[in-house]
Structure 1
Amino acid sequence: MESPHGVYRIGDRGEAVAEIVGKLQRLGLLTGGHDVYDVYDEATAHAVRGFQQQRGLMIDGIVGPQTYSAIDDARWRLGDRLLTYVPTHPLSGDDVLALQAKLQELGFAVARVDGIFAADTQRAVTEFQRNMGLPADGTCGPSTFKALQRIRPMATGGRPDALRAREAVRAAGPRLSGKTVVIDPGHGGFDHGWEGYGLRESDIAYDLASRIEGRLGATGVRAYLSRGRDQGPDELSRAAFANETDANLCVSLHTDGSMNPEAQGVATYFYGNDLHGATSSVGEQFAGLVQREIVARTDLLDCRTHAKTWDLLRRTKMPAVRLEIGYVTNPHDSARLADPAFRDVVAESIVVAIQRVYLPPEQDAATGMLRLGQLTV
């Protein structure tokens, strides 16, 4: 479900705001005594921030399309509705998350616990139904719900999805040549992102993406940019593009910004939902490698790695990370980002991290030591 009118914040009023307030109340995030239903007030913003923190979203107290969709997803419980695969508009919700987690516990292959009823979830449901002697139609209805409640977990030895993801990386081999990587320069078009000290986030992201693309191409990697220089697709379109390429990895490039000029540093994000214990294991590993390589090779402050449920991280089929490389609103970080030589160092850091995802432990190098000429092509 998408926000029908875009973005809602303090001071807004109307039917859509009343709907948001009502859903927040049903989720227990707003007290029943909240008697101003059609005004987006400070109490509503506080409840939204709490919800965003729970769900791994951007914490700003504003309801945009992604937060609106997440609020709607949160209302569903397993068994509330029929779950089936709709290719053009896959169902999403907490009930799908619960279904995927249960199937995974039982040893049925779900690519990722992401709350989206896609083809992999349909296949897992079908296989479960066959094992239970139920009509194997891939649709989760009353009889399938009952069967799921009766069966105890069978899988042991770690999360099956994580084990499958690591095995896929091992099977891909250490060589970069032949692999596919999507590089996603953030923002673009009329959306410049953060601006400061004469820099635009969209311009820096595109420049970095071009530098990474050239270096990956030299190793034999098929590297694709998710947008042109003057384009600005939304996150769903970027994720769809990455999925269409059947990429091995996806890297989204951003810079950060703040009203506080002292805010600075680099952070890397991967798909993870702490509320439901879902995460991309290879995405987390990749994020750690990228973060450590950049911190080791630059003087940017280490703001660590974090799990988020942003659309690009959640909806890409391959491991994906998002980087926030410095603050354009900070004098130190902006000066570094303005330097082409610094951007070359960041680009090399990211390419090296991509290589290290595929290196077995006995071939891996210490952080900050591997150079482009040493990559396995």
Structure 2
Amino acid sequence: MNTEDTEPMLRRTMTNRRVVSLRERLLRAGATVAYLAPQDVNNPSYFDDHVDAAVRAFQQQRGLIVDGLVGPETDRALNEAQYALGDRPLYLDEGRPLRGDDVTMLQHNLSRLGFYYGHLNGVFGSSTHHAVTELQESLGLSPSGVVGRETIASLARINRNITSSKAFSLRDYHRLERATSALRGRSIVLVPSRDTGQQSPASAPGDFLDRADAITRDVAVRASELLHEIGAEPAVVHPDPAPHARRGHAVRTVASATEATTGQPESVVVTLHCDWNSSPAAAGMSSYYWGEQDRSEIYSPIGERAAVLVLKELVARTGALDLGTHARQWDVLRGTDAPTIWLDLGYLSNPGDRTALADPEHRNHLAEAIVFGLQRMYLLADDDLPTGTMRLDDVAGFNGT
């Protein structure tokens, strides 16, 4: 049984034996907060202010939601941060793939040498294995696919010759260059909030996830209908694999975004969310893509472009406050080979946003904005239309329908 499903999230003021391990993992991940080490405090199992500060600093550094809560995503990121390249042998285990910062660093080096063109997702999968064997063959090593001392030593010798070519993002740029202007035939996966693993904010009421899921699922279905009408191949992630009929159109459902994008490198994944804040004044919409939080690296150029254009359309067509487009390294953004964006459609804690999201007409505008933003992503400059002016007839024309 997965302990994530049975053990509660760790948070400030809790006393739990797992806090002792949390302190040690934070230290190994590079935390420098005073009175963090178990031996420096009277009760190392107590989640005090020092642990809270270290968790928040780690979340900020990793581009996670900074809430001080150690839930599944923060816990997973901490586990990955325990390893530097060379701490352990790396190899392909298809049953339980190795994850960690050491794998990310390996992928980074391989990509800059031109052997690896996948996402820097920190998961030692088949593409990383093939890149390692190619590297080993080129260096005259046994092509075992196992990254041990000999392979790491060889990487270290040539490391000074590695330059930052950003090879990991070239695939996305090439896809955009080769893309036609049509959404017809393109796989678009829409993921309602509950199916992204979104957690309920600490200040949110108990029914927050249910309300957010109902809203985002309705928007996903409406966007799916529009995409289906222009000949795209949309799918909505839903725990029930049976098709869901709506207005005469059977909405195709899939169990997960990973399942839907396997073997579909041209897919785009759109995850939909509602937000909550302890202050009812917080309002607006935002979008996210996979990259370094300081924007020094964009790991998914298609994701970044989609996040920017879809948010512009959302804001223009609803009048919502624009909270900007941001780079993050959340698992949901880097977990598939397909470009993925995260859309926050508004705050259920804000009276104005909450009223708007409850309105079916508003949700229809959100669905249209998603389609228009995705369409604009593939248009040449001469064909593009100003933000907020594209119509469904225009989209039909671009797709020959």
Q: Same fold (TM over 0.5)?
A: yes
Q: C-alpha distance in 2, partners of 1:288/1:25?
A: 36
Q: 1:239 to 1:16 in 2, by over 3 A?
A: farther
> One-letter code of the match for 2:112?
E
The 5 A counterparts of 1:155-234 are 158-187=165-194, 200-228=211-239
Q: 1:175 to 1:154 in 2, by over 3 A?
A: farther
Is the counterpart of residue 363 in structure 1 residue 383 in structure 2?
A: yes
CA contact under 8 A between 2:116 and 2:131: conserved in structure 1? yes
CA contact under 8 A between 2:315 and 2:321: conserved in structure 1? yes
The 5 A counterparts of 1:71-220 are 71-152=78-159, 158-187=165-194, 200-220=211-231
The 5 A counterparts of 1:239-254 are 239-244=257-262, 246=264, 248-254=267-273
Which residue is 2:284 aligned to? 265
CA contact under 8 A between 2:183 and 2:375: conserved in structure 1? yes
Query: TM-score of the superposition, structure 2-length normalised?
Result: 0.85
CA contact under 8 A between 2:117 and 2:169: conserved in structure 1? no
- Of residues 40-49 and 163-172 in structure 1, the stretch that sits farther from structure 2 once superposed is 163-172
For 2:64, what is the secondary structure of its paired residue?
A: coil
> One-letter code of the match for 1:313?
L
For residue 300 of structure 1, report the CA deviation from its aligned partner: 0.6
Render the CA deviation track for 1:300-356: whole Å, top value 9, x for unaligned: 101001122222111011000111111111111112212222111111110011112
Q: C-alpha distance in 2, partners of 1:142/1:286?
A: 41
For 2:271, what is the secondary structure of its paired residue?
A: strand
Q: 1:273 to 1:117 in 2, by over 3 A?
A: farther
Among 283, 302, 317, the alignment partner of 1:282 is 302
Among 16, 21, 24, the alignment partner of 2:23 is 21
For residue 104 of structure 1, report the CA deviation from its aligned partner: 1.4
The 5 A counterparts of 1:265-344 are 265-274=284-293, 277=297, 279-344=299-364
Q: C-alpha distance in 2, partners of 1:228/1:82?
A: 37
For residue 13 of structure 1, report the CA deviation from its aligned partner: 2.5
For 1:133, what is the secondary structure of its paired residue?
A: coil
Q: C-alpha distance in 2, partners of 1:271/1:290?
A: 15
For residue 47 of structure 1, report the CA deviation from its aligned partner: 0.9
Is the counterpart of residue 238 in structure 1 residue 256 in structure 2?
A: yes
- Of residues 113-122 and 347-356 in structure 1, the stretch that sits farther from structure 2 once superposed is 113-122
Among 9, 13, 24, the alignment partner of 1:11 is 13
For residue 224 of structure 1, report the CA deviation from its aligned partner: 0.8
For 2:272, what is the secondary structure of its paired residue?
A: strand
For 2:291, what is the secondary structure of its paired residue?
A: strand
Q: C-alpha distance in 2, partners of 1:221/1:313?
A: 22
Q: C-alpha distance in 2, partners of 1:126/1:161?
A: 18
For 2:375, what is the secondary structure of its paired residue?
A: helix
> Which stretches in structure 2 are left out of the alignment for 5+ residues?
243-254
Q: C-alpha distance in 2, partners of 1:345/1:362?
A: 25
For residue 156 of structure 1, report the CA deviation from its aligned partner: 6.9
Which residue is 2:67 aligned to? 60
For residue 171 of structure 1, report the CA deviation from its aligned partner: 2.3
CA contact under 8 A between 2:293 and 2:329: conserved in structure 1? no
For residue 179 of structure 1, report the CA deviation from its aligned partner: 0.8
CA contact under 8 A between 2:31 and 2:58: conserved in structure 1? no
> One-letter code of the match for 1:49?
R
Query: TM-score of the superposition, structure 1-length normalised?
Result: 0.90
Which residue is 1:45 aligned to? 52
Which residue is 2:275 aligned to? 256
Q: 1:228 to 1:92 in 2, by over 3 A?
A: closer
Q: C-alpha distance in 2, partners of 1:137/1:362?
A: 50
Q: C-alpha distance in 2, partners of 1:245/1:135?
A: 30
> Which stretches in structure 1 are left out of the alignment for 5+ residues?
232-236
For residue 277 of structure 1, report the CA deviation from its aligned partner: 4.2
Is the counterpart of residue 30 in structure 1 residue 33 in structure 2?
A: yes
Q: C-alpha distance in 2, partners of 1:218/1:149?
A: 53
For residue 216 of structure 1, report the CA deviation from its aligned partner: 0.4
For residue 155 of structure 1, report the CA deviation from its aligned partner: 7.2
CA contact under 8 A between 2:102 and 2:122: conserved in structure 1? yes
Q: C-alpha distance in 1, partners of 2:216/2:113?
A: 42
For residue 362 of structure 1, report the CA deviation from its aligned partner: 2.9
For residue 294 of structure 1, report the CA deviation from its aligned partner: 1.0
Q: C-alpha distance in 2, partners of 1:192/1:121?
A: 31
For residue 360 of structure 1, report the CA deviation from its aligned partner: 2.5
Identity of aligned residues (%): 35
For residue 287 of structure 1, report the CA deviation from its aligned partner: 0.6
For 1:325, what is the secondary structure of its paired residue?
A: strand
> One-letter code of the match for 1:112?
H
